[in-house]
Amino acid sequence: MSVTTTPGRATPNDDGRIGLTVLGATGTIGVNTLDVVARHPGRYKIVALTANHQVERLYQQCLAHQPEFAVLAESAAAEKLEQKLRKHGLNTEVLAGIGGLEQVARLPQAHYVMAAIVGAAGLAPTLAAARAGKRILLANKEALVMSGQIFMDEVKANNAELLPIDSEHNAIFQCMPNTQNINLDVIGVKRILLTASGGPFRDVPLETLSRVTPEQACAHPNWVMGRKISVDSATMMNKGLEVIEACWLFATRPAFIEVVVHPQSIIHSMVQYADGSVLAQLGNPDMRTPIAHALAWPDRIDAGVDNLDIFSVAHLDFSRPDYSRFPCLRLAIEAIEQGGTCSAILNAANEVAVQAFLDHQILFTQIASIIEQTLAAVASTPATSIEVIMDADNAARLCAQQLVERFSSTFRGHVH
């Protein structure tokens, strides 16, 4: 990584525990984080939990973990949560909106921040955590996809720690020296091998892709994930975003990253060195492993994950991705090569298109078409500030939504 931070341990709170804010507590990563934390009650303390709109689920999490703060996106939902907590006798302070998210990301008693809000909504609070010098457990790809240089500059300037939670980036990190001060040339890295399952459609006939349903796209063969990221895995946009993220995390270029389709999801990624060595991180496909690794780094703690039985695995398969099957992967690589706000435009168009597919407005194969046409229509500019990036994001969303409306008529004709 390009971050110059020495491995260290946070100064615990008065009760001897490390404070943790979980941004996106009700999502898959958030739930798994709370599962790991619950296994180590003497080591970690939940300071704040946040969610978008799932009042009941956040309420149950507050009862279980008794945080000092809870945050919801909308004021009405926050008021409802506060009423429920008061009836139960909890004094958790309930906040609302982006201001609340940024506040709990900066709390002095929260040493670590799990950044697990999906999409562009996670950018501002994750930046707030970087500016506050936190250990950031980064599960939100968009912070780097949208604002890579700005975000990495903030991490370095404020002596924050940045540890990847994506299983692939966490695996790469584990295959490198035990420090965040990583220069790939100095340590002799020749290339990064970024593995991908290929999703549920890696072997289906190409002509059938236009007929797949959101339910089929969300049925990932190996991982349990949210609906948006499941569709991204099916299109392999998820892997494209991970290529962009890896470029920023490890200060490298797409030419040094090779995507490898590995259906078993046992090898989570590999690093090839100049001496011919290839180091790989293996394990069962369970997000609690990278979460526990980042929580305890440089130590190791129990994650509740079953040991890998290599005898039952028996064999491992590898192949190169087919861009005709996965055009979103190609678009993402082209975006990071072009630079500027191109990655932000790509990300925004993808979010709009994926939601339209999940809402049964467009065909699965039209996701890539909308992204490609948005990239052609919205000009990329140097990403000199968050304001410039957000302007590009807004322009891309407007363009993509107009394309969705145009494509939706085709969809209606197709299904009828």
pLDDT of residue 15: 85
Q: Is the pLDDT of residue 4 over 70?
A: no
pLDDT bucket at 5, cuts 50 / 70 / 90: very low
Q: Are 354 and 367 contacting, i.e. CB atoms less than 8 angstroms apart?
A: yes
Domain topology for 339-415: Rna Polymerase Sigma Factor; Chain: A (1.10.1740)
Mean pLDDT over 383-396 rounds to 96
Mean pLDDT over 333-357 rounds to 96
Kindly report the CA angle at 167 between 283 and 110, in degrees rounded to 5? 115
23: DSSP letter: E
Question: Which of 95-99, 214-218, 348-352 comes out lowest in average pLDDT?
Answer: 214-218
The span from the CA of 136 to the CA of 134, in Å, is 6
The span from the CA of 62 to the CA of 59, in Å, is 5
Question: Which of 8-12, 140-144, 150-154, 406-410 comes out lowest in average pLDDT?
Answer: 8-12
pLDDT of residue 155: 96
Strands (E), 67-169: 69-72, 93-96, 112-115, 135-138, 161-164
Q: Is the pLDDT of residue 14 over 80?
A: no
Q: Which residues of 339-378 are buried (b: 16+ CB within 10 A; e: fewer)?
A: ebbbbbbbbbbbbbbbbbbbeebbbbebbbbbbbbbbeeb
Could you give the strand order of the β-sheet that contains 112-115, starting from the edge strand earlier in sequence? 93-96, 69-72, 44-51, 18-23, 112-115, 135-138, 161-164
pLDDT of residue 222: 65
The span from the CA of 351 to the CA of 120, in Å, is 9
pLDDT bucket at 223, cuts 50 / 70 / 90: low
pLDDT bucket at 118, cuts 50 / 70 / 90: confident
User: Which of 263, 250, 209, 251 minimizes the C-alpha distance to 231?
Assistant: 209
Q: How far apart are the first and last CA of the chain?
A: 51
Domain ranges of the chain: 18-165, 174-286+308-313, 339-415
The span from the CA of 194 to the CA of 153, in Å, is 24
pLDDT of residue 219: 82
Whole-number percent of the chain with pLDDT over 90 = 85
Q: How many residues appear in the chain? A: 416
Q: Are 236 and 283 contacting, i.e. CB atoms less than 8 angstroms apart?
A: no
pLDDT bucket at 11, cuts 50 / 70 / 90: low
Q: Is the pLDDT of residue 3 over 80?
A: no
Q: Is the pLDDT of residue 359 over 60?
A: yes
Average model confidence (pLDDT) across the chain: 92
pLDDT of residue 140: 87
pLDDT of residue 416: 44
Q: What is the pLDDT of residues 69-107, one digit of tens each?
A: 999 999 999 999 999 999 999 999 999 999 999 999 999
User: Which of 58, 39, 60 minimizes the C-alpha distance to 50?
Assistant: 58
pLDDT of residue 179: 67
The span from the CA of 314 to the CA of 93, in Å, is 51
Q: Are 125 and 101 contacting, i.e. CB atoms less than 8 angstroms apart?
A: yes
Residue 37 in tokens: 């934390």
Per CATH, the number for 18-165 is 3.40.50.720
Q: What is the pLDDT of residues 169-185, one digit of tens each?
A: 999 999 998 766 678 88
Kindly report the CA angle at 166 between 346 and 342, in degrees rounded to 5? 15
Mean pLDDT over 128-147 rounds to 94
Q: Is the pLDDT of residue 6 over 60?
A: no
pLDDT of residue 412: 60
pLDDT of residue 12: 75
pLDDT of residue 143: 86
Q: Same topology for domains 18-165 and 339-415, yes or no?
A: no
Question: Which of 172-176, 180-184, 295-299, 368-372 comes out lowest in average pLDDT?
Answer: 180-184
Q: What is the pLDDT of residues 234-252, one digit of tens each?
A: 999 999 999 999 999 999 9
Contacts of 269 (CB under 8 A, 6+ apart): 167, 168, 169, 171, 172, 175, 192, 193, 194, 195, 280, 281
In single-letter form, the type of residue at position 34 comes to L
User: Which of 369, 362, 376, 377 minimizes the C-alpha distance to 409?
Assistant: 362
Give me the sign of the Cα torsion angle 173, 151, 232, 194.
negative
